[in-house]
Amino acid sequence: MTLIESFEKLDYSDALESSKEAQSWLDSHGRRFGQFINGKFENKSDADLIASLNPSNGDLLANIEVANPNQLKKAITAARKALPAWQAMGGHGRAKVLYALARLLQKHTRLVSVLETLDNGKPIRESRDIDIPLAIRHFYHHAGWAQIQEREFSEYKAIGVVAQIVPWNFPLLMLSWKIAPAIAMGNTLVFKPAEQTPITAMFFAHLCEQAGVPDGVINIVNGAGATGAALAAHEGIDKVAFTGSTSVGRAIRKATAGQSKKLTLELGGKSAFVVFEDADLDAAVEGLVDSIWFNQGEVCCAGSRLLVQAQIADKLHTKLKKRMQTLRQGTPLNKSVDIGSLVSQTQYQRVDELVQNGLEHGGELYQASATQIDGNYYPPTLITEIDSSHPLAQEEIFGPVLVSMPFRTQSEAVTLANNSRYGLAASIWSENINRAMDVAPKIKAGVVWINCHNQFDASCGFGGVRESGFGREGGKEGLYEYLQPKLLKKAAKPKPLKVELKDGNENIDRTLKFYIGGKQVRPDSGHSFATYNADGSLANWVGAGNRKDIRNAVSAATKASNWSNQNGHLRAQIIYFFAENLALREDEWIKRLKEICGLTRKQAKKEFHASLSRIFSYAAWADKYDGAVHDAPYRGVTMALPEAIGVLAQIAPEENPLITTVSLIAPAIAMGNRIVLIASERYASIALELVQTLETSDIPAGVVNILTGNKADLAKQLAGHAEVDGIWCWAKPEIVAQVESTSAADLKRLWVHIDGDRDWLDSQQGEGLEFLRNATEVKNIWTPYGD
Ligand code: NDP
């Protein structure tokens, strides 16, 4: 045989990673794990058990005890008790603990990687080279944030006790994404791993003992969905951080409605992988391997929708099929395997069923090898000849299944990429950076990769929009999810109207109209209600808005989308002009505030000038609240860009009507949102009195829309409206609960408060970065460079 012939016949031999150490670690714990509560392991002989299996061969790894309700309560109580001492340790004290966790994980990299692969079925190459190093990096990076917390977040404090629930696809990596930022900022927590993959969390619990994590700071409970549900809904929890399916995210949103809990949801996706005709096709093919066949496609941000420019579609498909034939699938512990086993037989069947059912609607299937249910090996799969309405193009499959669709033009590519109820991530493949940078902001997603896919780092925020959830993990934005503003003074309650109300009016009757689409319009219902001055005399009549008015206002705000594309300088000029026009009416406003709110002249003047100053502040911020460039460890730049949320509904507080109204409108429009504001009920006329000033301030039609009426009804309509992207709400607890529960349908981004939570006249509380952060969502754009 010639050298060339033997070279051509070369095959891979097995390069198995030894599982000996991992197996003996499991043996040393009797292959049974209970709960980690208050720094101690707790076993119960009568506990219900879940078998944790190696999905590639069905071997039992360990039996896992399901936490009972008393244990859950005990874990939450331990976390609560541990809070004061943990916070008293200060940033440096916590940094040392996080650093110790990072070091310990690093010392056990090989063992943890093998445990992860045994439990999840992912190739050892990925757990060893990607999952575990990224998890370690997360602890190092957040040790740093703990160290500088007091300086960087001086106006914020920890939220309290956090419930953290994760899925099975990146068990230890998800654990690090959750635990590192939470404890760095001084929270304590109860963590629940997925029932399929709890082993590395149990290993981590042992490291907590060695790292000097104080008792009760980190508690880990095991169980299935019911345990997660009980944990999330428990009254002892201040915040829930969840990663998993959209349906469970929705259930958690509903279950926690009205509980005043902060919530972050990192949910599913159907991310677009957009290849333009000028892309480097070989690089794009490798990108697809990393995008949809990484971790068997069990990745929330997998590029599962290939959108390819029509003229190169055949060429790309041919290259891709050729590459698919060379992908090696098999025993996950084999170091030369590309694709391992799906996490369970249930997941295998789910993927297979979705594909088979989907193909009934058409589509051409290409698989490089046969499916093998023994070992749950689902082969890399490509489906072509489908359109964007096809179920396989819309449903998250969560397996190694890629669907491909052609597009003709750049704008069609954007439309197709956005034709999804999800909005987690996307990648753009083009050698023309101008084109890529033009397309990136147009894609509705929390992360956009340019000429790469599935890049992650602790310094860069990750998270979605739409039904992919809200909130960010990683980066500075991820830390704010575990913080709340310090020192909130309560607002002064509005004075009750004690006097007898008089509906008669000797002046000319005034009925204030709504402001919708840049016009003053009458309410659709034909109903109005009276608003009163502080002395009980009639102030004005205002309209009682209904569902139709909400529809009209949202439609006007939707149409005004160009506002979101304007630059900050232009928005600033318009907001300054608004302040200038308001200043012209000082005497009139002081009179109004005295009459309607019963303020003294001095108080009215104070509120008026504070309102002017507030508008000025946001005009100032409009072109200054910009993003960051993150120093992620790769050859490239990651830009974190704050983007407008879109159509923002605002339910205004009941107190200080002038300053509260401008405090809501100004930051929202400064950041490029279009708003539908529901005015305070008691002071409904004040918001409508602002209309004349708004009308003359060059604010484009539809950017600001103002309605009055029954707050509870209108808030419910807005929470249920599919074109509303986010809601700010200050209202009674029952309205807040309604908004939280109704908005679960499409997982709107919420910022909700019980009325009276802050002193609006205080510039520390009534304006600033907290408002700007809630008016935006950060998009991280990854751009590698170099040839
Ligand atoms: P789930 O959303 O069902 O589970 C995620 C976590 O939540 C698990 O720890 C689970 O517990 C727990 N859980 C389940 N029900 C509830 C509940 N009602 N309240 C609180 N917690 C709950 O995801 P799965 O793991 O079952 O995966 C199903 C599908 O979800 C996948 O096929 C995929 O489409 C999607 N998914 C998305 C992920 C993402 O990162 N975006 C990650 C994983 C899955 P337990 O597993 O122990 O039952």
Residue nearest to atom 16 of ligand 1 (CA): 225
Contact 650, 739 (CB under 8 A): no
Contact 207, 36 (CB under 8 A): no
The encoded tokens of residue 520 equal: 């003053």
pLDDT at 382 over 80: yes
65 C-beta closer than 6 A to ligand 1 = no
Q: How far is CA 406 from the centre of its chain?
A: 29
Q: Is 300 a catalytic residue?
A: yes
Contact 655, 494 (CB under 8 A): yes
Task: Tell me which residue of 265, 267, 287 sits closest to 275, measured CA to CA.
Answer: 287
Residue nearest to atom 27 of ligand 1 (CA): 245
Query: What value does the mean pLDDT of the chain take?
Result: 95
Substitution site in 72, 239, 248 for ligand 1 pocket (most atoms within 8 Å of beta carbon): 248
* Share of residues in the chain with pLDDT > 90 (%): 92
Q: CA separation (Å) from 440 to 248, 281, 405, 783?
A: 29, 19, 19, 11
Ligand 1 geometric centre to CA of 467 (Å): 15
Substitution site in 35, 165, 349, 472 for ligand 1 pocket (most atoms within 8 Å of beta carbon): 165
596-603 contacts, C-beta under 8 A, 24 or more apart: 596/531, 596/533, 596/534, 596/539, 596/657, 596/683, 596/685, 596/686, 597/494, 597/495, 597/534, 597/656, 597/657, 597/683, 598/495, 598/533, 598/534, 598/535
**For residue 232, which atom of ligand 1 is closest to its CA?**
20
- Which amino acid is it at 657? P
Report how many helices (DSSP H) and strands (DSSP E) the chain contains, helices first.
31, 33
pLDDT in tens, 420-439: 999 999 999 999 999 999 99
Substitution site in 240, 245, 250, 351 for ligand 1 pocket (most atoms within 8 Å of beta carbon): 245
Catalytic residue among 266, 467, 655, 740: 266
Q: What is the pLDDT of residue 370?
A: 82
Q: Is 723 a catalytic residue?
A: no
- The H or E element spanning position 254 is helix 246-255
d(CA 19, CA 25): 10
302 C-beta closer than 6 A to ligand 1 = no
Task: Identify the band that residue 1 occupies on the pLDDT scale cut at 50, 70 and 90.
Answer: confident
Model pTM score:
0.96
3-state helix, strand, coil in the chain (%, to 5): 45, 20, 35
pLDDT in tens, 93-124: 999 999 999 999 999 999 999 999 999 999 99
pLDDT at 592 over 90: yes
**For residue 192, which atom of ligand 1 is closest to its CA?**
9
Q: What is the pLDDT of residue 498?
A: 58
pLDDT in tens, 136-157: 999 999 999 999 999 999 999 9
- Which amino acid is it at 661? T
Residue nearest to atom 9 of ligand 1 (CA): 194
**For residue 267, which atom of ligand 1 is closest to its CA?**
41
Ligand 1 geometric centre to CA of 444 (Å): 24
233 C-beta closer than 6 A to ligand 1 = no
Q: What is the pLDDT of residue 91?
A: 98
**For residue 247, which atom of ligand 1 is closest to its CA?**
2
**For residue 252, which atom of ligand 1 is closest to its CA?**
19
